[in-house]
Amino acid sequence: MSEIDAGTLLPSPQMKEDALAGDVTQIHRGQAYAEEGDTFEIDDEVFEVDDVTERTLGDLTDEDARAEGARDLDHYKQILEHAHDSFEWDDESEIVRHRFEQR
């Protein structure tokens, strides 16, 4: 367990704001950027990573999308396509879910 920089998991100021508001409680990334038990701070509020799980894009659900601040899975896909120039959704693409909660 260690303290990590919030920007390691949450790459934009908006995501950090949404985590503080409780609207973002997880993020999927292309690789593991934290381990269970790691902590990070946003505006003096401490968050703890409580789950790190390997998945595929095809595993994602509307619930996952909402936990990342999107309306639903289709909206989540649009966000990814906008954020990554050459992104193409492939259900088999491996990703890592990082769930966290405010302490």
Summarize pLDDT for 40-60 with one digit per residue, the tens: 999 999 999 999 999 999 999
Q: Where are the beta strands (DSSP E) in the chain?
A: 26-29, 39-42, 45-56, 94-102
pLDDT digits (tens, 9 = 90+) for 14-29: 999 999 999 999 999 9
Alpha-carbon span 14 to 58, nearest angstrom: 25
Alpha-carbon span 33 to 35, nearest angstrom: 7
Q: Are strands 26-29 and 45-56 parallel, antiparallel or unpaired?
A: unpaired
Alpha-carbon span 40 to 49, nearest angstrom: 8
Arithmetic mean of pLDDT, 3-18: 95
